Amino acid sequence: MVIAYKTHSDKFKEDWFGEIEFLHLTDPYKMVVHARGNRFDVIFGKGINGSYICIPNWQIGTEIASLKDRFWNRESIRRADDEISDTDIDSVVDALVAAGEYLADHGYN
């Protein structure tokens, strides 16, 4: 299943769209995100110490807050990889927000 989502960059005052393809709909959740010509293989879920995200094809793994916490998750991904672009971080954190909304709307935990 593929869903579209919208991303906004505060820094660049720009909007763009991305797509999420869910691959696994239980914890750990797996999805592929396509945005601005990039692909992010995303795994996220809850561990013993809290929530996490891994983007193996970008060699990123870090703790996150709730899926809707755009600010915290943005900063956490930035700390995990200081070379990832702001637009790519925005693409991923807004995909997390959209994924969280989708999962909540469809009764997933």
Give the residue-averaged pLDDT of 70-94: 96
Q: Is residue 109 pLDDT above 80, yes or no?
A: no
Residue range 19-46, pLDDT digits in tens: 999 999 999 999 999 999 999 999 999 9
Q: Is residue 69 pLDDT above 90, yes or no?
A: yes
Residue 38 Cα distances to 19, 28, 34, 95, 106, angstroms: 11, 22, 6, 13, 27
Give the residue-averaged pLDDT of 44-63: 96
pTM (two decimals):
0.95
For the chain, domain boundaries? 2-9+22-105
CA nearest neighbour of 64 among 78, 48, 53, 54: 53
